[in-house]
Amino acid sequence: MNITLRQLQVFERVARRLSFTRAAEELYLTQPAVSMQIKQFEEAIGLPLFERLGKKIYLTRAGEELYRLSKTISRQLDEAEQLIEELKGADGGRLIVAVASTVHYFAIRLLADFCRRYPKVKVNFKVTNRKGLLQQLEDNEADIFLMGQPPEEIDVIAEAFMDNPLVIIAPVGHPLAEKRGISLVDLCSETFLMREQGSGTRTSVERFLTERGIGFHSSMEMNTNGAIKQGVEVGLGLGIVSIHTVEQELENHRLIVLDVESFPIMRQWYIVHRAGKRISGISLAFEDFVRTEGRRFVKFG
């Protein structure tokens, strides 16, 4: 059987996503190139690995077995690459960091300082929403994850490293701007711009309101904190975001934080990695850096 590592990599990504299009996007290839790699791979194997039913593709029995083996091979190749990088120098190596979109507001500054301390390190920095982060965690696509509440359905090692207060933001000049101790009931008539279903912020807010028997009116759903901040700034409604995402807007007096009873909602940021994962020296150094230096890179909270 004459197969290449590239064919194995392409097969694994198609099998993982069950989509030639998504695999092509993630591998920075054209869809015809992916299809050709899979065709050559199946010819080398001598068995079909995918079957198409309607508009969807599925793994055949042979595909399922090969996918299981390919994940093991890929993990071992990653560990080999990591080991080789470590042998090149204790202060270098490869580091893949994935963060929740809310974290990146301060994580990019933290990472920049870390890279100045370890100039030989090669960093891959990934930013995504919670859904994407959980998928990357499930697929073991990063060394270290910085996120909100760790998942219960995936076996991980998690350590809280910093508080993450959720606050209610409003445009400058809002009628409630000068009021202190605003009750939750007073906000029921306000319109809120909310994150998408499944986001960590949305889940925490809904749990908080349910526990108090309160319901806020949400007229618009947005999948980024940046969109929520812009919407609040132009008067579309109020927003509930991590205070770490509005540092610049608060300093420039473009947004304000309302003084609301029971707020902020206190959450935490966590350092996370898969249980049983081989942690490199540079990954341990980054974890320690986050643990001891993380607070230096936030101005509020």
CA distance 119 to 127: 22
- For the domain covering 5-76, report its CATH number: 1.10.10.10
CATH superfamily placement of domain 164-266 = Periplasmic binding protein-like II (3.40.190.10)
Per-residue pLDDT, 15: 92
CA distance 163 to 148: 10
Per-residue pLDDT, 212: 86
- Tell me: domain 83-162+268-297, CATH 3.10.450.50, correct? no
Spell out the domain ranges in the chain.
5-76, 83-162+268-297, 164-266
Per-residue pLDDT, 81: 72
* 53 phi, psi to nearest 5 deg: -125, 110
Per-residue pLDDT, 126: 92
Give the 3-state DSSP-derived string for 62-110, with helices as H, strands as E and coil as C: HHHHHHHHHHHHHHHHHHHHHHHHHHCCCCEEEEEEEEECCCHHHHHHH
Per-residue pLDDT, 89: 52
Write out the chain's pLDDT in tens, 301 residues: 678 888 888 999 999 999 999 899 888 899 999 999 999 999 888 899 999 888 889 999 999 999 988 888 887 887 777 667 665 555 667 889 999 888 888 888 899 999 999 888 889 999 988 888 898 988 888 999 999 889 888 889 999 999 899 999 999 989 998 899 999 888 888 889 988 887 888 888 889 888 888 877 767 888 888 899 999 999 999 999 999 889 889 989 999 999 999 999 999 999 999 998 888 888 899 999 999 988 887 776 6
Give 49: exposed, middle or buried? Use CB within 10 Å, 0-12, 13-18, 19+: buried
Per-residue pLDDT, 241: 92
The residue type found at 164 is: N
| CA 168 to mean position of chain CA atoms | 23
CA distance 200 to 231: 20
Per-residue pLDDT, 1: 65
Per-residue pLDDT, 195: 86
Q: Do 5-76 and 83-162+268-297 share a fold?
A: no
